[in-house]
Amino acid sequence: MAKGPNNLKNVQTRKIQPKLRMYCNADTNVNRIRAEYSSSISMKPGFNPDAHPIIRQVQTRNMAFSELSDTLELKDIEEAPKDVLTNIFVKLDSDSRRIKIPGETGRRGNLVSATVPLSQMKKLSEEQGVSYIEMGERLTPPNPIISPTTDTPLVPSRPQFGPEELHTAEKKVLIGIIDCQGFDFSHPDFRDSSGGTRFYKIWDQGGDARPGPTGSHDTHVASLAAGNSGIRPIFYIAGV
């Protein structure tokens, strides 16, 4: 843990997510281990792993209680690591939407996504127009359990919700779907009568630090909600 005068533990601010502050208050070696298990941080391109060796479990040994130190030694870290990148969301004040955010990858209204080194977090939090900073967390695709027994298949039927005459403004509806894989916007299930896609917008929040996601869960969910065989086949779709 850091105890230097410039680390984020000593900054009197609520702008930074607690978990993100914890990452900033650790050195490169600790965050390198975290990067192996967390999709929220990664090592900067060109990082030399030999400079920060990791002790693996096979290298450890049992220790007697008498060998343990009575006190916890704290490292004096003057600033957060420069070689550790993190994907963040920055919320801006309503009257500060023109503020430039380093490493910006996307912007919608007063919400900005960016990939920045941990060392820039303190300076970013001191920007007057910045309201809050939090890490981008990974969404995990579901892993359904398939029953070993065979059940009686359901009779396919088109789902309906309420009388059709009450849905008078359906063509003006935009449905938003947030998921963690990818949208196949050119799939025939999303084509309208003229052959065009009903996907209005797609916002890819993935950064360049890690490979893009694979899979079809997003397409599956969008098809259930607004596919040509789904609940409302004339909705327009926005995917995130």
Mean residue pLDDT of the chain comes to: 77
Rounded (5°) CA angle 68-71-73: 100
pLDDT digits (tens, 9 = 90+) for 140-159: 666 766 666 666 666 666 55
The DSSP string of 186-212 is TSGGGB-TTS-B-EEEE-----SSSPP
User: What token pair was written down for 104?
Assistant: 């910006």
> With 70 as the cut, is the pLDDT of residue 211 above it?
no
Coil vs helix vs strand at 170: helix
Answering whether pTM is above 0.85, one says: no
Strand order in the sheet with 236-239: 174-177, 236-239, 199-202
Q: Give the pLDDT score at 77.
A: 67
Q: Which residue has the higher pLDDT, 39 or 170?
A: 39
